Structure 1
């Protein structure tokens, strides 16, 4: 007979080795909400593409190097980030460790499905030439690689495809990609994962673009976008709500019927960036129209936008922009920001109609192209030779790289804090630099309580182990 102590030790080891998970988010009206608590979720994010477009290849993408992901997740956690956006991904690479690291840190991911490689994108000037079966191996491949991670907030079907250089038919093709992605997710994923579009801030067509993607098309309801991202850099330096035009954007998007957020923000015409727009973006007026935003961008590249700089010797430096953003985040009232609002969640979309489009140059019909020949089979049976992903345990929390602040001082106490089940990262109002989040212990782990893919992968009871206290709770429950 196996002793109770042996069974207890086995149970503790099993739980300690399981992967904790954030709670999946869902779209309700014009809000992202926690699928369990119903709390509103505001994006405090950063765009994440280390090395820029040149840093992406078939053999390397931003979520394929666990050491880099651990370093960056720990620094983002300290900053108060709860979401990253990743632009370019290679579906066939192993993303399990990186996705699990960001998950453990309480950080969600919004993932673009396109890439700059051949068959990886829609050509805005002639989208019908790239809207092919081969293209969908990239699109559906990204979905397959990441659909099992609870911290995937959503997928972007396109980024700034519709601009001055785009053909008039471009909106129809992007909305068709939204349709095909949502149909694939409905058939092949254990949970609904939102799909949206990231738009350029071109004021002449911005509202037309919003209306084109948010309206309800009766014969193709799945083609409606679930959220809308805006790449906007109109607030520069110590601007104001009015001088930046944020007041106009707030008015324009106040009647949106889906979540809208800044998929890129952080003008660098004035340096260093002071990020005073954070107080406006998360203020009472703008949170009625927007669900937060993502700062462009994480690493300092040739365009000089970064929050951190990766040095040639392998060390990393947090720039003054990092500190300035941290100061702004620390001022936010997260209780107010996360409070649910029935007027936000109870909105319904308008029916698609040519009357919604005001600019004569913008496509005002919803004659969406038929999907390429093999796509219906992909949707029904899944992508052939599809990649897969699953949560893994995150045991390493200490960085292998040295970190310095912008003054040259070494930061020695930075490590990843593994948050307890269901927790997402929040800005820390303390002076501690070891991490931030809602967990009270310096390191905690646990198992997912979700009934979706992550819990099936973990298959362990929903008990969070938070140091000795968690162990004693487990002891009490089993003895």
Structure 2
């Protein structure tokens, strides 16, 4: 009986699942519409080594969860973690405080490079390892499969590889019986934003994102308003969108201290029927000066800024009431895929192939010579890249190349950089 009572108590403490219906998020148990009232969380000051992981820093986590509760937030967005570390303590502290996690799948080393985009089995393997490490936590609310990857008209080809990654990671989650939604966060570029918004919500269900994020920094200071900031235009763009949208980053810092006037519109009648809240950028003060507290890795000391008090004031004054899940009838339209143009270099109905380690191994086994190492230093990678560039200027490298405008993808385009290089060297030989 005592064990049963303990289990019941443990269950009662579990955080409620957040689910998607139509273009909105809902608390699955209460049926109330859910709005992200969050903050970006990636402390970097005092970090030793190359792997920032705030969710493995228990001292910092205990320090900051108390501040999160004081601010009244219900979510954090984290960009980088080391999936080999233990995150149980921090994730439990967050869950007990009613705080959900939005976690980015990429890391700087394993991401899609906007200038030279590939989606290969190395990258996918690291993203999958992150999924495996975090999917056991009840407060993991969403994955973000890319942050501002295509950020202007010259880098749109990278969007095809991000969408391929979305397709494959959604399939990976589904195969594991997981329903955590996968989204994308754009940078609100005036030239390409509508193409991106439409591209990630067109085509088959398997390839679309489950929600769409916008990083926006246009509302700067109290002299700006809903219309003059451009927030009205952004809201209009998303009005008939079929899936949920939220501000994955906001909080212009051109005028400090910040007073966060955009919060009132985001959670009020201007925007709350379209957007599911947002994530203020960011919690800790770093070199880019967006923080609301000053802290250091592994230290329990905190210094709050005036921005902290201002954010607490606007966040605590919110009482957003959405629609009940049972009363809500989803609307919205399927987006029409953008056509190839001088500012959109992607043939929308063809995606890069799903990475296959077996295919790449088969190719490598067929080669007369291979590279000695599979892990290259930055210098080695640069030298090798130049050499391959020269080779591909002399002979056809179609098998390891792509043409996103024509929807052409070589057989080994989803192999690792080392494997593609080995193929090119053999081709040249």
Instruction: Report the TM-score, using the length of structure 2 for normalisation.
Output: 0.77
Aligned to 1:459: none
Whether 1:370 and 2:360 are equivalent positions in the alignment is no
Whether 1:204 and 2:194 are equivalent positions in the alignment is no
Q: 1:315 is matched with which residue: 289, 301, 313?
A: 301
Q: 1:49 to 1:59 in 2, by over 3 A?
A: closer
Aligned to 2:76: 84
- The runs of 5 or more residues in structure 2 that have no matched partner are 361-429
Distance in 2, matches of 1:192 and 1:174, equals 19
Distance in 1, matches of 2:358 and 2:94, equals 31
Q: 2:330 is matched with which residue: 346, 354, 378?
A: 346
1:307-338 per-position Cα deviation (integer Å, ceiling 9, x unaligned)? 1111697410221111101111122123x246
Aligned to 1:409: none
Whether 1:226 and 2:230 are equivalent positions in the alignment is no
Q: 1:376 to 1:223 in 2, by over 3 A?
A: farther
- Whether the 8 Å CA contact 1:274–1:325 is kept in 2: the answer is yes
Aligned to 2:388: none
- Whether the 8 Å CA contact 1:124–1:162 is kept in 2: the answer is yes
- Whether the 8 Å CA contact 2:240–2:333 is kept in 1: the answer is no
Q: 1:17 to 1:253 in 2, by over 3 A?
A: closer
Whether 1:177 and 2:160 are equivalent positions in the alignment is no
- Whether the 8 Å CA contact 2:153–2:343 is kept in 1: the answer is no
Q: How does 1:414-433 map to 2 (within 5 A)?
A: none
- Whether the 8 Å CA contact 1:257–1:347 is kept in 2: the answer is yes
Instruction: Report the TM-score, using the length of structure 1 for normalisation.
Output: 0.70
Q: 1:25 to 1:304 in 2, by over 3 A?
A: same
Per the TM alignment, residue 364 of structure 1 is displaced from its structure 2 partner at its CA by: 4.5
Q: How does 1:286-435 map to 2 (within 5 A)?
A: 286-310=271-295, 314-334=300-320, 336-337=321-322, 339-340=324-325, 346-347=330-331, 349-350=333-334, 352-354=336-338, 360-374=343-357
The residue matched to 2:144 in structure 1 has which SS? strand
1:45-101 per-position Cα deviation (integer Å, ceiling 9, x unaligned)? 00000116x948565511101221121111111101101000011111111111111
Distance in 2, matches of 1:47 and 1:289, equals 21
Query: RMSD of the TM alignment (CA)?
Result: 2.6
Aligned to 1:134: 122
- Whether the 8 Å CA contact 1:111–1:154 is kept in 2: the answer is yes
The residue matched to 1:127 in structure 2 has which SS? coil
- Whether the 8 Å CA contact 2:240–2:332 is kept in 1: the answer is no
Whether 1:155 and 2:143 are equivalent positions in the alignment is yes
The residue matched to 2:275 in structure 1 has which SS? coil
Aligned to 2:403: none
The residue matched to 1:286 in structure 2 has which SS? coil
- Whether the 8 Å CA contact 1:85–1:294 is kept in 2: the answer is yes
1:111-168 per-position Cα deviation (integer Å, ceiling 9, x unaligned)? 0011112xx111111112xx22111121101111111112111101000001127534
Whether 1:283 and 2:283 are equivalent positions in the alignment is no
Q: 1:166 to 1:25 in 2, by over 3 A?
A: farther
Per the TM alignment, residue 229 of structure 1 is displaced from its structure 2 partner at its CA by: 0.8
Q: 1:99 is matched with which residue: 91, 94, 117?
A: 91
Distance in 1, matches of 2:132 and 2:161, equals 22
- The runs of 5 or more residues in structure 1 that have no matched partner are 1-6, 378-479
RCO (CA 8 Å, sep 6+): is it higher in 1 or 2? Answer: 1
Whether 1:31 and 2:24 are equivalent positions in the alignment is yes
Per the TM alignment, residue 209 of structure 1 is displaced from its structure 2 partner at its CA by: 0.5
1:373-398 per-position Cα deviation (integer Å, ceiling 9, x unaligned)? 13999xxxxxxxxxxxxxxxxxxxxx
Per the TM alignment, residue 17 of structure 1 is displaced from its structure 2 partner at its CA by: 6.8
Whether 1:259 and 2:259 are equivalent positions in the alignment is no
- Whether the 8 Å CA contact 2:273–2:322 is kept in 1: the answer is no
Whether 1:146 and 2:127 are equivalent positions in the alignment is no
User: Alignment length, in residue pairs?
Assistant: 358
Distance in 1, matches of 2:62 and 2:220, equals 31
Q: 1:59 to 1:290 in 2, by over 3 A?
A: closer
1:237-274 per-position Cα deviation (integer Å, ceiling 9, x unaligned)? 11211121111111111111111111111101001000
